[in-house]
């Protein structure tokens, strides 16, 4: 109860009528946090169980979600899983999934979780409530608006006073977020500044409302904005708000010092050995590869051209096990779904097969989609199977796509170079660095297969990843999963 009282006192320092309303909502969240009604038979996690470590998080593309393969994913999910595996193997890992970010810190204060892994920015008010780990990522709060210029991802405005920009406009942010705290700081010098702090929503939803024209502005973190701009090309960054924020895990101020020490040691290790950057690259490294025009044209052709070939892509999925949206993304990057496409180097068709590859895969007419699509999919599988068993997914597929584009020999040169430079040849985030070096004489003259334009496979792989993600977002293969309030995983 002392933690709740302090929570209330901090909020009251900023009180006006709007803050009073927010206070009441937060008190309700703290007092009434409960297991989701859909899973009311699931017991609350036993935080005092010596064998259990509970992480509180919330659903979202930057935290914890089910991916296209119906497996749990997300940067916070991966980090928590790695932490328990490598630094706390004596614990059983559990996730407490709350409805929104505004419920995360109340869950810690109520003693329902040991650690909050929820894409939390370190802010002054939060530091009065909880203690934070070593930061693991930096992000920038951005004011986001509707984009009326489809050639740009940014739409900068001169923000002399945010309150002037918002005259007659509607802006909303999720309740209990760092965005709300930043706006309250701005309001001290701009007393006419107005916005809505909404419960039971999130930044992803508010960004989609801006894109659909039902909301004029919102504020969101830059790494999420860059992802959402690939789904909604009419989102634009109007300006940055304040200085960059640092993201970290949060723990109760009464947390076991030994646990805090382990958490900080974990982040120190994964920063030093490259694991952290590898994970950040996995989720965000490709998000800015496409510009607004790329995304706009892709979405248009997804409506006009993709339906002509969707059945063939899905048949190829049945034959190979590859997600049809990956096959379609490769095809789009290769030919823009033009079955007659022919390059100056002689590759042809929807999958832009070389003559040798076509012969290898038994294709007699590369311009025939019925032959080209399954052959291209089977060739991707062939590349995946050629990648050494030491390479885990999704890096295995990324490396295979690079080989599909540049050839397996040059990929092997890049992996050899990675070993020489003490990088990890099994990680795409490292191999893409050495692929770029295949254009430099100091490196390619020392390798078996010599010069290659290594930028081409890097652009290819990251564009394909972006196109696949867009298709997964707009054409999910199954209904959204109903995530349980408490998800339990083995070690």
Residues assigned a catalytic role: 334
Query: Rounded CA gap, 410 and 414, in Å?
Result: 6
The owner of tokens 């190829």 is 316
Query: Rounded CA gap, 55 and 44, in Å?
Result: 13
Query: Rounded CA gap, 266 and 262, in Å?
Result: 6
CB 227 within 8 A of CB 287: yes
CB 174 within 8 A of CB 203: yes
CB 350 within 8 A of CB 290: no
Query: Rounded CA gap, 36 and 196, in Å?
Result: 25
The owner of tokens 């991802």 is 153
CB 15 within 8 A of CB 75: no
Bridge partners of 137, per DSSP, are 247
Query: Rounded CA gap, 310 and 304, in Å?
Result: 11
Angle at 420 between CA 387 and CA 384, to 5 degrees: 10
Query: Rounded CA gap, 100 and 177, in Å?
Result: 10
| Whole-number Cα distances in Å, 247 to 123, 138, 278, 281, 404 | 10, 6, 17, 16, 37
Query: Rounded CA gap, 130 and 353, in Å?
Result: 56
Bridge partners of 65, per DSSP, are 73
Nearest to 97 by CA among 48, 137, 125, 55: 55
* DSSP state letters, 296-364: HHHHHHHHHTHHHHHHHHHHHHHHH---HHHHHHHHHHHHTT-TT-B-TTS-BTTTTB-HHHHHHTT-S
Helix (H) or strand (E) holding 97: strand 92-98
Angle at 298 between CA 295 and CA 299, to 5 degrees: 85
CA-based R_g, the chain, Å:
25
CB 187 within 8 A of CB 122: no
Query: Rounded CA gap, 126 and 120, in Å?
Result: 9
Query: Rounded CA gap, 403 and 390, in Å?
Result: 16
């Amino acid at each position: 109860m002392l933690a709740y009282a302090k929570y209330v006192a901090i909020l009251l320092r900023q009180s006006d009528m709007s803050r009073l309303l927010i206070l009441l909502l937060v008190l309700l969240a703290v007092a009434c946090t409960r297991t989701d009604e859909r899973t009311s038979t699931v017991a609350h996690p036993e935080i005092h169980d010596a064998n259990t470590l509970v992480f509180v998080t919330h659903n979202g593309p930057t935290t914890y979600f089910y991916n296209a393969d119906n497996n749990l994913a997300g940067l916070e999910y991966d980090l928590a899983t790695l932490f328990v595996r490598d630094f706390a193997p004596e614990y059983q890992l559990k996730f407490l999934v709350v409805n929104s970010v505004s419920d995360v810190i109340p869950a810690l204060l109520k003693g329902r979780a040991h650690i909050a892994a929820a894409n939390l920015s370190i802010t002054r008010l939060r530091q009065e409530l909880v203690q934070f780990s070593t930061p693991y990522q930096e992000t920038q709060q951005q004011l986001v608006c509707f984009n009326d210029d489809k050639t740009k991802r940014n739409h900068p405005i001169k923000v002399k006073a945010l309150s002037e920009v918002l005259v007659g406009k509607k802006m909303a942010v999720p309740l209990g977020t760092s965005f709300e705290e930043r706006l309250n700081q701005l309001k001290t010098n701009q007393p006419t500044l107005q916005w809505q702090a909404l419960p039971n929503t999130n930044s992803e939803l508010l960004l989609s409302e801006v894109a659909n024209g039902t909301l004029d502005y919102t504020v969101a973190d830059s790494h999420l904005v860059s992802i959402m701009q690939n789904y909604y090309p009419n989102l634009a960054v109007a300006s940055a708000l304040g200085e960059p924020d640092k993201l970290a895990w949060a723990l109760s101020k009464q947390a076991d010092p030994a646990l805090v020490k382990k958490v900080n040691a974990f982040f120190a290790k994964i920063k030093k050995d490259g694991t952290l950057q590898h994970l950040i690259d996995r989720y965000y490294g490709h998000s800015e590869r496409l510009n607004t025009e790329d995304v706009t044209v892709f979405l248009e052709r997804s409506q006009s051209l993709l339906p002509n070939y969707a059945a063939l892509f899905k048949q190829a999925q049945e034959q190979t096990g590859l997600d049809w949206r990956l096959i379609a993304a490769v095809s789009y990057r290769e030919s823009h779904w033009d079955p007659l496409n022919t390059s100056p180097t002689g590759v042809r068709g929807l999958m832009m097969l070389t003559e040798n590859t076509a012969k290898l895969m038994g294709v007699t007419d590369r311009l025939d989609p019925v032959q080209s699509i399954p052959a291209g999919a089977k060739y991707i599988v062939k590349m995946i199977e050629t990648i050494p068993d030491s390479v885990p997914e999704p890096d295995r597929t990324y490396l295979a796509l690079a080989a599909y584009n540049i050839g397996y020999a040059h990929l092997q040169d890049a992996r050899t170079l990675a070993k020489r430079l003490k990088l990890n040849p099994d990680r795409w985030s490292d191999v893409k660095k050495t692929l770029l070096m295949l254009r430099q004489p100091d490196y390619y003259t020392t390798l078996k297969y010599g010069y290659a334009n290594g930028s081409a496979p890097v652009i290819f792989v990251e564009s394909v990843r972006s196109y696949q993600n867009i298709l997964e977002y707009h054409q999910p293969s199954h209904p959204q999963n109903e995530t349980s309030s408490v998800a339990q995983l083995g070690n």
